Amino acid sequence: MRVLVAGAHGLVGQHVTRLLAEHDGHDAVGMVHEEAYRDDVEAYGAESVYGDVTDRDSIDDALAGCDALIFAAGSSGEDVWGVDRDGAINCVDACEELGVDRFVMLSSINADRPEESPVELREYLRAKAEADEYLRESELTYTILRPGSLTNEDGTGQIRTGRHLDREEATIPREDVAETLVTALDVERTYGLTFEVLSGETPIPAALSDPLA
Q: Mean pLDDT of successive 10-residue segments in the chain (213 residues)?
A: 97 98 96 95 97 97 97 94 98 98 97 90 96 98 97 97 87 98 98 97 97 92
Answer for the pair 84, 77: CB distance below 8 angstroms, yes or no: no
Q: Tell which residue, 7, 91, 86, 101, has the closest CA to residue 57.
A: 91
Sequence spans of domains, the chain: 2-208
Whether 37 is catalytic is no
Strand partners, 114: none
Whole-prediction pTM: 0.97
In the chain, the amino acid numbered 144 is I
What is the CATH code for 2-208?
3.40.50.720
Answer for the pair 90, 59: CB distance below 8 angstroms, yes or no: yes
Angle between the 11-22 and 174-184 helix axes, to the nearest 10 degrees? 50
| Predicted pLDDT of residue 116 | 84
Q: Tell which residue, 107, 8, 74, has the closest CA to residue 16.
A: 8
Three-class secondary structure of residue 28 per DSSP: strand
Catalytic position from the list 37, 44, 124, 142: 124
Q: What is the pLDDT of residues 131-187, one digit of tens each?
A: 999 999 999 999 999 999 999 999 999 999 999 998 777 899 999 999 999 999 999
